Structure 1
């Protein structure tokens, strides 16, 4: 399959990442089928897309006509079978291997043999996800960064059986969405989270151990290394539960150097997950 063969893109999962992927694909001119298990999740996904597109209009990045056309290109559904016409399907569900494998088993029964199946996983093995279907050469990782409509990067992850044709298509598709890509082997955490998670955890430990106030830790890292956010603020934006899940996965795979910080666990246990709950290391309106 080549890029010109892709007309319709499927997205499984209408959460923050799935809705963002659906939006950028629709803005790029693709018809999109966004599927989730309950209608309320699909509707929430459309709300996220609407708010994001409105911000694009306000900033001058898109016109009203362009956003209206993008909305019209997205179909929402709770039925997995509605993904059958898709030429490329991107899974963006929770970071649990059994859930992702179940999705891929369903997709293999629904879509054509030539359809490329991608996962937006940030830490889990592409090879293991693909092992439950008969054509693992058509499976790759397309790890979009959050928030998808804003961030320019897409991490392309190559599984043990991923074909060169599928890799080339992944790069071309992401670039068609206006993204820039880099390639990683199928090793825990790939490039981004393998390096990012210990950085965040060390920031949490520094705060917990009284090295500096949280604002000074973040200020020190933004001014000292020219990153846009410090570790604590970034953790809040990602979601502390997501950071903890990724850290625990890396800890299992790579050992003690990836041990999650104690305060991170305590925050998640308390339900303070960051910006999405209104409170993490900082408070949000």
Structure 2
């Protein structure tokens, strides 16, 4: 997700700094972004691409106007990273790419909660047309307006939602995916036919099980567990999801999920 977000801002002419946790991760991030830009260039001109720097030193974020965290969906980790961003980039607006965690809860880790806004990008970021802008109870209204402008500058459509469990997109998307998994468990239909029911019957561009593979089964499991705690048993993850994650079948990134990749 971080590489995809970097790609999107580079293509609209921004200068982008990516901060990673180790030299190895930094090298891998540079390779991912470079490969993504090269692939985009094969399909046609990508415009006046901005500059990219990759580092392990969070102090490099000092001059930034906007810093977006894209670490895994773990509350303590996100809170730690957000607090570090606040210190290293004192004049920046702060975005969190969470797909389900409470903006207000994450803002509690900051000295200045009004600086935080949810910017929920979708995978793959370069091709996705949507960004969900999530507004916490303390988010500065001027920041909401800036976020809407940034999303428009990326050539994407923003929807603005108030902070609530799962926001709008994750709550709907996860519910559909979990029901598709239960249907697979019960032998209602095959993986392919369940997805085809949605792509041809409801004109979804990708079926819920293939989408889960793209998002990551481990990510979907974390989100479903969070929503089950917040909203009740209708979001309880089915056994097939827990079993696949336990077996290391995370989807596209691991080579196997509901489909082989």
Under a length normalisation based on structure 2, what TM-score does the superposition of the two structures give?
0.97
Q: Which residue of 2 aligns with 1:6?
A: none
Whole-angstrom distance in 2 between the partners of 1:111 and 1:62: 29
**Rounded Cα–Cα distance in structure 1 between residues aligned with 2:46 and 2:63:** 28
| 1:42 equivalenced with 2:21 (yes/no) | no
**Where does structure 1 lack aligned partners over 5 or more consecutive residues?**
1-16
* 1:142 corresponding residue in structure 2: 119
Could you say which residue in structure 1 is the equivalent of 2:79?
Answer: 101
Q: Aligned runs of 1:230-241 on 2, under 5 Å?
A: 230-241=207-218
SS at match of 2:209: helix
Runs of 4+ in structure 1 off by over 2 angstroms are none
Q: Structure 1 residue 126 and structure 2 residue 103: aligned?
A: yes
Separation of aligned partners in 1, 2:76 and 2:112: 18
Shift of 1:111: 1.6
Q: Cα RMSD over matched residues?
A: 1.1
Please, which runs of 5 or more residues in structure 2 have no aligned partner? none
Alignment-derived partner of residue 7 in structure 2: 23
Give CA deviations for 1:207-255 in whole Å, capped at 9, x if unaligned: 1100011111111111110001111111111111111111111011111
Secondary structure, counterpart of 2:258 in structure 1: coil
Alignment partner of 1:267 out of 229, 244, 254: 244
User: Which deviations, in whole Å up to 9, do the C-alpha atoms of 1:178-228 show, x marking residues without a partner?
Assistant: 111001111011010011101001001101100011111111111110001
Per the TM alignment, residue 61 of structure 1 is displaced from its structure 2 partner at its CA by 4.5
Instruction: Report Cα offsets for 1:60-112 as digits up to 9, x if no partner.
Output: 2527xx5xx44xx0110101111111111111111111111111211222222
Q: Deviations over 1:116-151 (max 9, x none)?
A: 111000000111111122211111001011111110
Secondary structure in 2 matching 1:276: coil
183, 187, 199: which one aligns with 1:210 = 187
Count of residue pairs the alignment pairs up: 261
| Aligned position for 1:14 | none
Tell me the equivalent position of 1:76. Answer: 54
